Amino acid sequence: MDSPKHDDRKIHRELWHLALPMMASNLSTPLLGMVDTAVVGHLAHPYYLGAVALGSTIFSFLYWGFGFLRMGTTGLTAQAYGKNDPLQINATLARALLLAFTLAILLLALQRPLRDLALQLLETSPQVQLHTQTYYSIRIFSAPATLGNYVCIGWFIGLQNTRIPLLLLTLVNLLNILFDYVLVWVLHWQVAGVALASVAAEYLGLILGLTLAARHWHRFHHPGWRTILDLRQLGRLFAINANLMLRTLLLLFAFAFFTAQSARLGDVILAANTILLNLQSFMAYTLDGFAHAAEAMVGNALGRRDIPLLRRTIRSAGLWSAVFAASFSLIYALAGHRLVQLLTSLEPVRAIAVEFLPFAVILPLISFWSFVLDGVFIGMTRAREMRDVLLVSALLGYLPSWWWLRSLDNWGLWLAFTGFMTMRTLGMEIQRRRILHRLAALDEG
């Protein structure tokens, strides 16, 4: 039974205190995607939009695939914060940055074979492929900045400080939007301008992130190299991050597969589906504000071994996420066609996007609980369970259903994707119940 000392109103206030800055900063990320889409969507040919979509998909694997650096750093830092262990707080930052820059160097060394493999897998028209190569050859050089930013943001979230991530993410994305305008519309660099805008913004963000992290570093004990390179702690870091990496790659594979199949159905369908996925991303990034708050609060509660607080935190995050998900579904149902018109002036693309708009309407209601539980599992550093859910949902649900429905073309693709998101939500809920049951049993024992 939950302890009466935890006031639900206090938990709601703390959740909003952490979630609001992350919500504001997260909104700038899909806004950037929409700006990228609008910038190239109003150029003369749809293959510019297709190239940015495929280029972004490639870097979803290369960069977002390393999103475990943020998630793992948040969970470990939050638990160290809950245990009041300042030495491990700083050691976690140092270990994660060391890992991030090592991985970035590896990506740069392997950039050519990774590019060739990606372009081979993502079959599309010659025009789209040519401009995708241009995008890739520029964007790859942001690797050290992007991965380093993941670590800095994750560390501050773990410290229950979401205002600095707000500053970092908002700065990066606003600079990116500004550079998009200058490089694409003023200098007419087209796809190359979109890629270069991202590179410049990421490095400026990294400089600020490291500067702010250095100031906070001096508030805690400074770990020596022996502490930073402790084999047991490194082993835990690698185990968590390896499972998070597999989970993230599986999730990104699901979206990349969707984009690749859209490309095979033609440039117009690719462009239309990209617009609808941007609507889903806008919703997901908003709800991730509650998930990020849950990461910090759940990790802190687990570090303090306060199971009643953990349960109430999960309920609070779920409640507010449900409210926002329902709001997004209503907005997309009433004004989705107007949003499509804002994002592209190409009539064939508009027609296809409006036809499949109902999927964008129902997906928030299907997927919001899985977003919340992502944050809960990250705070508990339960990466293995997250990996297992994605394995089952993607490989045993998504791909077989697409194969069975492929004769329906784009309808079959959207039905398979919706089924995948449904399986993911159900799988996460089953794991949540099992984990909390075990934690409660350990607490009673």
pLDDT tens-digit readout, 366-409: 999 999 999 999 999 898 999 999 999 999 999 999 999 999 99
- Which segment, 180-189, 278-287, 368-377, is predicted with the most confidence on average? 368-377
Instruction: Render 223-285 in DSSP notation, one character per residue.
Output: --HHHHT-HHHHHHHHHHHHHHHHHHHHHHHHHHHHHHHHHHT-HHHHHHHHHHHHHHHHHHH
Q: Is residue 341 part of a domain?
A: yes
Q: How far apart are CA 69 and CA 149, in angstroms?
A: 9
Question: Which of helix, strand or coil describes residue 33?
Answer: helix
Q: How many domains does the chain have?
A: 1
Neighbours of 426 (CB within 10 A): 17
Q: How far apart are CA 148 and CA 124, in angstroms?
A: 32
Q: Is residue 200 part of a domain?
A: yes
**Burial class of residue 80 (count of CB atoms within 10 Å of its CB; 0-12, 13-18, 19+):** buried
Q: Are 78 and 158 in contact (CB under 8 A)?
A: yes
Q: Is residue 203 part of a domain?
A: yes
As a whole number, mean pLDDT of residues 76-93 equals: 88
Band (329; pLDDT cuts 50, 70, 90)? very high
Band (152; pLDDT cuts 50, 70, 90)? very high
| Torsion angle (degrees, nearest 10) of CA 26, 31, 33, 36 | -150
Q: Are 196 and 52 in contact (CB under 8 A)?
A: no
Tokens of 123: 């079959």
Band (1; pLDDT cuts 50, 70, 90)? very low
Q: Are 365 and 333 in contact (CB under 8 A)?
A: no
Q: Which of 129-133, 328-332, 368-372 has the lowest mean pLDDT?
A: 129-133
CB neighbours of 259 closer than 8 A, spacing ≥ 6?
A: 53, 54, 57, 122, 270, 273, 274, 277
**Residue-level pLDDT at 16:** 92
Q: Which of 155-164, 247-256, 420-429 has the lowest mean pLDDT?
A: 247-256
**Residue-level pLDDT at 7:** 76
Compute the residue count for the chain: 445
The CB-side HSE value for 341 (13 A sphere, CA atoms) comes to 4
Band (432; pLDDT cuts 50, 70, 90)? very high
What integer best gives the mean pLDDT of the chain? 86
Domain that holds residue 388: 8-444
Q: Is residue 3 part of a domain?
A: no
Looking at the predicted structure, is the pLDDT value of residue 187 above 60?
yes
Helix locations, 42-67, DSSP H: 46-62
Q: Is residue 30 part of a domain?
A: yes
As a whole number, mean pLDDT of residues 341-349 equals: 84
**Residue-level pLDDT at 123:** 67
Looking at the predicted structure, is the pLDDT value of residue 23 above 60?
yes
Question: Which of helix, strand or coil describes residue 188?
Answer: coil
As a whole number, mean pLDDT of residues 186-201 equals: 85
Q: Which of 20-29, 37-46, 305-314 has the lowest mean pLDDT?
A: 37-46
Q: Are 95 and 233 in contact (CB under 8 A)?
A: yes
Looking at the predicted structure, is the pLDDT value of residue 72 above 50?
yes
Q: Is residue 2 part of a domain?
A: no
Neighbours of 112 (CB within 10 A): 11
Q: Is residue 1 part of a domain?
A: no
